[in-house]
Amino acid sequence: MEYISGVKQKETVSVQDILTKDLIGTEVKANGAIHNLRDMGEVSFLVLRQGDGVIQCVFEEGTNLTLKDLREGMAIEVRGIVAKEDRAPNGFEIRLKAIKILSAPTDAQLPIAINKWKLNTSLETILNNRPVTLRNLRERAKFKIQEGVVRGFRDFLHAEKFVEIRTPKIGARGAEGGANIFKLEYFGKHAVLAQSPQFYKQTMVGVYDRVFEVAPVFRAEKHNTSRHLNEYTSMDFEMGFIDGFEDIMAMETGALQYIVELLKKDYAKEIATLKVELPKVDKIPQVRFDEAKRLVSEKYKREIKNPYDLEPEEEVLIGKYFKEEYNSDFVFVTHYPTKKRPFYAMEDPTDRTFTLSFDLLFRGIEITTGGQRIHDYGELLKKIEDRGMTTEGMEHYMMIFKYGMPPHGGLGIGLERLTMKLIGEDNVRETTLFPRDLNRLEP
Amino acid sequence: MEYISGVKQKETVSVQDILTKDLIGTEVKANGAIHNLRDMGEVSFLVLRQGDGVIQCVFEEGTNLTLKDLREGMAIEVRGIVAKEDRAPNGFEIRLKAIKILSAPTDAQLPIAINKWKLNTSLETILNNRPVTLRNLRERAKFKIQEGVVRGFRDFLHAEKFVEIRTPKIGARGAEGGANIFKLEYFGKHAVLAQSPQFYKQTMVGVYDRVFEVAPVFRAEKHNTSRHLNEYTSMDFEMGFIDGFEDIMAMETGALQYIVELLKKDYAKEIATLKVELPKVDKIPQVRFDEAKRLVSEKYKREIKNPYDLEPEEEVLIGKYFKEEYNSDFVFVTHYPTKKRPFYAMEDPTDRTFTLSFDLLFRGIEITTGGQRIHDYGELLKKIEDRGMTTEGMEHYMMIFKYGMPPHGGLGIGLERLTMKLIGEDNVRETTLFPRDLNRLEP
């Protein structure tokens, strides 16, 4: 009988191997894609693109293939001697002995020169050609950083005893209500796509006390702006036995602190590639919603048009205010008006026109909505009735309160928005692998 | 200005704190739900359910509240002295000084006694009441183990330099084709829900060489069996620069080895709760598809009806065969017939009626489908044309081959099926938090 017994060490080396294993002067094999071919007259170079970096390779007398035999985009394996070379990326190069072609592209010209440092074209063109423009070193660095954000979020919450859950994306009704729900037919029944895991994560607080989920959510919003997507990744957590909604903000602050440290440690190369200025997150100021409106109205001479909502421009100004006055990239805006929050939001007992809730603004944009939830069955039922709603279709949600729920709350973080502001982009499509918006369903 | 500066240590303790911090003899506070109240005549107990365990609490003379003041399902905070008690779970109990009620359920009777060791009722009833039946200790242990499976999968692949990706679940067309696609309207366009991240993960191999994703997939299959779900979690990876499809099986074997070790280490309590017998996974036998059919046909006197497909019963028999003959819970079945595999599957150059592909069977059920993919543009185009298909709607997929793809392949693992067989269940709904099937869209 033949057996498979686990991963065998490969003969080929990565950039990381060469940097950490003292391979200077030794013969190595390495594979990758041809990122660039450069004929400098006296000397010719081949830049090999690997998943985690590039390796400069230089043609020698006796190399079995020459520039003419090769094309950008080929998958190859090279063999050669590693040599110190200060002018090369990472300080070394491979002096080529042999090149083996593993696969070749058809000879079509690339629609965009992906091996340039910046893709000098419109976002529209970049997205239309996303399957290959992502091979650009700066483009792919963005999504490595995004991986780091998710890893940090998860690892931090795991250490804080949160349990990871997976809740269904097809359901009978939406948690948030409203018109922005995608509908589908489900074996003759009406179904919808989840706008958020809200009801399920609250349900799971009754099971594990603390839970989190990182998963897609779907919003059929007709906004075509630089900050909206119709499918995005929501990083959600929900926690029980809280003393107040400050516990939730504290947990998020802790998560952000952890994420920033993880990025510094494990994603330094991508941070450097994109010249990212990581935010300070040792402490985050908090300000009441009404107070925030008043502050920016005074400082920036702007009339308050709607006392119950924040316009995007106001968010920008609040961000600006806290950067200028407190040198903070973040600000928690608390106590949103009850009428602008969902029925399950807990009202402030000292003034029921406001809720024990918050948004987190980061560099002028809302990246998180959170707050304490109502945990008492009777109170929740009354709120539903007061709003002219019914519990029809929410029986399974109501069940958890009937049989007991601790004081609890949580939040949802928009991953793409957080990544966008983290790396200094201004369109959320820049930090979405394959964005879905009003006009874009492909690639 | 008020600031939030991160997570503050709570005064309350967990089971884990008591076990690791030598708190015997000291006064502690602990919160949780009342899992059980027991009046034993001379002595009364309260079992406190926390996210990660239960704590036996015993009423003392002078405790501020008595059994009569309490109900199961209440969220409470207790204060008392930790004492060694061998008959209690984890070997200790809390002798109660004071109990504070944080929230109370309405007085409705629970539909099911969730504090019994086993829920003695039908799966149907358990699922109908899932939001509360999950509070049962055995039920919730299943999904902790499931968390461990996902963590193990991710952590192993991360260490093997795979990059985590997030691909869209709404798209213009399905990757696998066929009729089992959920359709939806997307701002006046036709859209579908992703059956798999196949095209996207291949695309991302051209970017990072190695990628993985753990995310929901959607199949509009009309099967109502113990092994099918209409929404499930697919653990996918895809890797470039492979020497053959054995590399993919080796990577999966490595992942399974890592997962089993992680479960032993971090999920020992849940493993014990469910009396799980973890499989041996040091080596996994591999057998060709046609050979596997022949072996079970001979040994179990079963006629081969369809030489091109495995019936579920045959999968069971193959599992039985390799358990009996080689004492293995797993078997890789390789070289599936070309006509039963998707167009992108690479054919075996020595016999094009078979593909360089495999399924992994675990205790008699398919939990993985994988294989090498075609990487040459011309070969792929020819295969598409030979099948009478067109590339219409696949332009973005074809683009990656046009501009060069390395030899590559990958797989998808059904998380719920893997968890089901791991813990010895026989219905995939047992290991899905909120299953979606032909008849079930709630809770």
DSSP designation for B340:
G
Residue A52 confidence (pLDDT) above 80: yes
Is residue A245 within 8 A of residue A388, CB to CB? The reply is no
Chain-chain contact of B4 with A250 (C-beta, under 8 angstroms): yes
- Restricting to B residues 30-89, those with a Cβ less than 8 Å away from any Cβ of A are 31-34, 50-52, 72-75, 77
- Restricting to A residues 119-178, those with a Cβ less than 8 Å away from any Cβ of B are 129-132, 134-135, 140, 143-144, 146-147, 150-151, 158, 160-161, 163-172
Residue A175 confidence (pLDDT) above 90: no
Residue A107 confidence (pLDDT) above 90: no
Q: Which residues pair with A49 in a beta bridge?
A: A33, A54
pLDDT in the model for residue B367:
97
- 3-class secondary structure, A380: helix
Q: Which residues pair with A75 in a beta bridge?
A: A33, A103
**Span B396-424, mean pLDDT?**
97
- At A71, phi and psi to the nearest 5? -140, 150
pLDDT in the model for residue A108:
66
- 3-class secondary structure, A419: helix
Residue B392 confidence (pLDDT) above 80: yes
Chain-chain contact of B132 with A161 (C-beta, under 8 angstroms): no
Q: Which residues pair with B217 in a beta bridge?
A: B232
- At A32, phi and psi to the nearest 5? 165, -175
* Helices B289-299, B312-326: inter-axial angle, 10-degree rounding: 80
Confidence of residue B173 (pLDDT cuts 50, 70, 90): confident
Chain A CB contacts of B284 below 8 Å: 3-5
Residue A365 confidence (pLDDT) above 70: yes
With a CB cutoff of 8 Å and minimum separation 6, the contacts of B107 are B71
- 3-class secondary structure, B383: helix
Q: Which residue of B has its CA nearest to A147?
A: B164
Chain-chain contact of A144 with B150 (C-beta, under 8 angstroms): no
Beta strands in B63-181 (DSSP E): 75-84, 92-103, 163-164, 170-171
Q: Give the residue ranges of DSSP H helices in B244-288.
A: 246-266, 268-273
Residue-wise DSSP of A232-256: EEEEEEEEES-SSTHHHHHHHHHHH
Confidence of residue A173 (pLDDT cuts 50, 70, 90): confident
pLDDT in the model for residue B108:
65
> Each residue of B243-276: pLDDT tens digit?
999 999 999 999 999 999 999 999 999 999 999 9
Structure tokens at B329: 């819970």
> Each residue of B213-223: pLDDT tens digit?
999 999 999 98
Interface check for A219 against chain B (CB to CB < 8 A): the answer is: no
The CATH T-level fold of domain B15-103 is: OB fold (Dihydrolipoamide Acetyltransferase, E2P) (2.40.50)
Residue type at A349?
A: P
Distance to chain A for B85, nearest Cα, Å = 25
Query: Binding residue per annotation — A48?
Result: no
Residue type at A202?
A: Q
- The size of the A-B interface in CB pairs under 8 A is 347
The answer to whether ipTM exceeds 0.90 is yes
How far, in Å, CA of B229 to CA of A343, rounded? 32
Residue type at B95?
A: R
pLDDT in the model for residue A347:
98
Task: Round the average pLDDT of chain A to a whole number and report it.
Answer: 95
- Of residues A4, A135, A150, nearest to B332 (C-beta): A4
pLDDT in the model for residue A194:
97
Confidence of residue B323 (pLDDT cuts 50, 70, 90): very high
How far, in Å, CA of A434 to CA of A8, rounded? 33
Closest CA to A7 of B329, B255, B373, B162: B255
How far, in Å, CA of B212 to CA of B164, rounded? 5
Confidence of residue A80 (pLDDT cuts 50, 70, 90): very high
Interface check for B218 against chain A (CB to CB < 8 A): the answer is: yes
Distance to chain A for B173, nearest Cα, Å = 9
CA dihedral sign of residues B333, B334, B340, B344: positive
- Of residues A8, A105, A134, nearest to B402 (C-beta): A105
**Span A339-352, mean pLDDT?**
96
> Each residue of A253-281: pLDDT tens digit?
999 999 999 999 999 999 999 999 999 99
CATH value of B137-431 in 3.20.20.140, 3.40.50.300, 3.30.930.10, 3.40.640.10: 3.30.930.10
Distance to chain B for A369, nearest Cα, Å = 16
Confidence of residue B109 (pLDDT cuts 50, 70, 90): confident
Chain B CB contacts of A165 below 8 Å: 143, 147, 433
Closest CA to B358 of B345, B339, B375: B345
Distance (Å) of CA B366 to CA A271, B58, B112, B248, B412: 42, 49, 34, 16, 11
Chain B CB contacts of A5 below 8 Å: 250, 253, 282-284
In this prediction, what percent of chain B has a pLDDT beyond 70?
99
Residue A174 confidence (pLDDT) above 80: no
Residue A300 confidence (pLDDT) above 80: yes
Interface check for B101 against chain A (CB to CB < 8 A): the answer is: no
Q: Where are the domains of chain A?
A: 15-103, 137-431
With a CB cutoff of 8 Å and minimum separation 6, the contacts of B392 are none
How far, in Å, CA of B59 to CA of A59, rounded? 82
Task: Round the average pLDDT of chain B to a whole number and report it.
Answer: 95
Distance to chain B for A406, nearest Cα, Å = 5
Query: Binding residue per annotation — A173?
Result: no
